[in-house]
Amino acid sequence: MTKKFEFLFDVGAPNAYLVHKILPEFCAAHDADAVYQPVLLGKIFKATGNRAPMLRYADAPAKLAYEQLEFMRFIRKHHIDAFRMNPHFPVNSQLAMRVICAAQGCSDFAPIIDLMMRSMWEEGLDLAQPQIVEELLSENKLDGRHYVACTENDAIKARLIEQTEAAIARGVFGVPAFFAGEELFWGKERLSQVAEALA
C-alpha cells in the first residue's frame, strides 16, 4: 500500500526547489506519495521569529559559508545541474503561491508547481510580476489570465493564509517541511528520517 506524507513548500525557497527535484525518485524508492501543501514562508518567518540563513547567520560568516557549502554538496550529489540562483532573490512569492492555491484540487496543480519552481530557480524569472506570470502560464498552455485573476479572489487569498496558519500551529517554522502522520521534519537533509518514519 502506497504511503503518503505532506510536503510544505514555498516556491520562493531554493531548498524547497531542491526537494521538489528529487521527490519523484524519493517517492519511487519508498513507495510513497508526496502531498504538496502550499504555504507562505514570509508569514511563517514573521510568526515564528525565524529568518533566512543570510540574515540568521549574518554575524557568523563561517556558519553561513558552511550552509552554502552544504547547499552545493546537495546539488552535486543529486545532479541538479539546472539550478541557478534567481537574480531577483529574494522574490516575493505571494503571487505565485496564490496561483498554485488556485489550482489545488485540479489537474493543473502539479504542472503549475513544476513550472513555477523551474521558472524561479532555473530560468531566473521575477514571479512577483503578474504580467510575467500570466505570460508564463499562457506559453505553457495554461490559462494565465484566469489564474492571475484568481490571485485577487478572497477565497484563494484566505486558503493560502489558512494553510500557512495551520502549518504554524503544527510547529512549522520554515520550509521545506514534511509531515509523516503528525510527525514534523524540517529541511532537505531530513528526508532520510521521513523515509524511516514511512517505513
Q: Give the tens place of pLDDT for each residue, 88-138.
A: 999 999 999 999 999 999 999 999 999 999 999 999 999 999 999 999 999
Do residues 137 and 7 touch, judged by C-beta distance below 8 A? no
Q: 93-127: string of b/e by CB count within 10 Å (b at 16+)?
A: bbbbbbbbbbbbeeebbeebbebbbbbbbbeebbb
Radius of gyration from C-alpha coordinates of the chain: 16
Residue 59: pLDDT band (50, 70, 90) is confident
141-199 per-position pLDDT tens digit = 999 999 999 999 999 999 999 999 999 999 999 999 999 999 999 999 999 999 999 99
Domains and CATH numbers, the chain: 3-198 (3.40.30.10)
Query: pTM of this prediction?
Result: 0.94
Asked whether residue 64 carries a pLDDT value surpassing 90, the answer given is no
Asked whether residue 53 carries a pLDDT value surpassing 90, the answer given is no
